[in-house]
Amino acid sequence: MKSILYFFLVISLLSCKTDKKQMDTSNPEGDTLAIKYAKGFSITQFDGYKILNVKNAWPDSDKDYTYLLVIDENKVPENLNYDSKISIPVKKIVVTSTTHIPSLEALNEEKSLVGFPGLQYISSKKTRTRIEKNELTELGTNEAINTEIVLALKPDVLIGFSIEGNNKTYDTFKKSGIPVVFNGDWMEESPLGKAEWIKFFGAFYNKTEMASLLFKKIDIGYKKAKKLAATAESSPQVLSGSMYKDQWYVPYGNSWQAQFIKDANASYIYSDTHGNGSIALAFETVLSDAQHAEFWVAPGQFTSFSQLDDASLHYKQFTAVKNKKVYTYSNSLGETGGVLYYELGPNRPDLVLKDLIAIFHPELLPDYKTTFFKPLE
């Protein structure tokens, strides 16, 4: 009888161990990182690894991308489906847009950047110092990245972006064992949505908590500035956009550019429009709609009133031009000519908003020195 009882006890214990092993190797429910505004990515954290999902990486994209970020290989369940696997924290990284660089610097990980296509476009003083010390490698251009140099650098990951999803160079890297991860921050429709992609970068360094705290400060700063703007007694009319050849391109009313104007308590001329990209209008249409707008912001490549005059004398018909209330970000340049707004603006919407509040409502921020927008010379 004792032998029989002992037999069943052993079988029972083995059964419990088997069940426990099956539970350990199954895919458990992870903790989803809180994403407040961004719509293009999600991060789920598990014990020993993270799952990064990117969707809508380019216009009309019909594919979601799943990236496995591994901290401990032994804890990763079998049979997980993913597009690329990256060991984290990464030690060497290649990014392909200047908008990616401020996130690396904010996370104190700029030294992990080993290569970039178009070093001359980088404005950050911190990263320019590394360039001057030859700590960063030139990779050519985004349209023709030098594959041999990238392969020689052996980065742990390449953060890329795509306009239409067809990039043979990226395919070459993936076949050579270099993971390529798509970044779709530029597809976000809200200013804070773009900035929240710092959490995307935080995941690669196992710094999601730090990234969340950094974004929280930006979020709070933005809301505080918006609340201040709401106290203004007036809401001036604003025109945005510029001429290219024979068309004037203006942002849609549901765009992130228009959101800045709205949150700065100003009235955007085309606030009632909806769509993707920009509206192409005839000069005469814009003149009719916005001739008496008090301000004109982001006038394209123009940096001075003399350039406006040289381009067309018809610009003088606008009230904003007559009163010298045209403001551009094209005058805020890095030491090699890179436009600071293109690099830092998407990451610091709180600073962009404060710029516009200082322009539209100078009485609210009387001593504020703008970061991006400056009056035309």
Residues near 365 by beta carbon (within 8 Å), at least 6 away in sequence: 228, 354, 357, 358
Helix (H) / strand (E) containing 56:
none
CA-CA distance, 346 to 348, in Å (whole number)?
A: 6
Q: Domains, the chain, ranges and CATH?
A: 31-218 (3.40.50.1980), 230-375 (3.40.50.1980)
Our measurement of the distance from residue 294's CA atom to the centroid of its chain's CA atoms, rounded to an integer in Å, reads 30
Are 252 and 258 in contact, with CB atoms under 8 Å apart? yes
Are 326 and 320 in contact, with CB atoms under 8 Å apart? yes
User: Residue 16, class by beta-carbon neighbours within 10 Å (0-12 exposed, 13-18 middle, 19+ buried)?
Assistant: exposed
The per-residue pLDDT for 23 is 31
- Tokens representing 198 are 């710092």
Quickly state the pLDDT bin for 28 (edges 50, 70, 90). low
Q: 3-state class of 18 per DSSP?
A: helix
pLDDT in tens, 126-146: 999 999 999 999 999 877 899
The per-residue pLDDT for 18 is 31
* Residue position matching structure tokens 């290569």: 115
pLDDT in tens, 218-236: 999 999 999 999 999 999 9
Nearest Cα residue to 228 out of 326, 363, 327: 363
Give CA torsion, residues 58, 190, 143, 179, to 10 deg. -70
Backbone angles phi, psi at 355, to 5 degrees: -55, -50
Evaluate if residue 5 carries a pLDDT over 50: no
Evaluate if residue 21 carries a pLDDT over 80: no
Helix ranges restricted to H, the chain? 2-25, 101-106, 125-132, 147-153, 168-175, 191-195, 198-204, 208-229, 256-263, 283-290, 305-311, 319-322, 340-344, 349-360
In the sheet that holds 157-160, the strands lie side by side as 137-138, 113-116, 93-95, 157-160, 180-182
The per-residue pLDDT for 300 is 87
Residues near 161 by beta carbon (within 8 Å), at least 6 away in sequence: 57, 58, 96, 97, 182, 183, 184, 186
The per-residue pLDDT for 252 is 94
- Tokens representing 141 are 């251009």
Residues near 5 by beta carbon (within 8 Å), at least 6 away in sequence: none
Per cent of the chain over pLDDT 70 is: 93
Taking residues 346-374, report their average pLDDT.
97
pLDDT in tens, 234-285: 999 999 998 888 899 999 999 999 999 999 999 999 999 998 888 999 999 9
DSSP, residue by residue, 251-275: E-TTSHHHHHHHHTT-EETTTT---
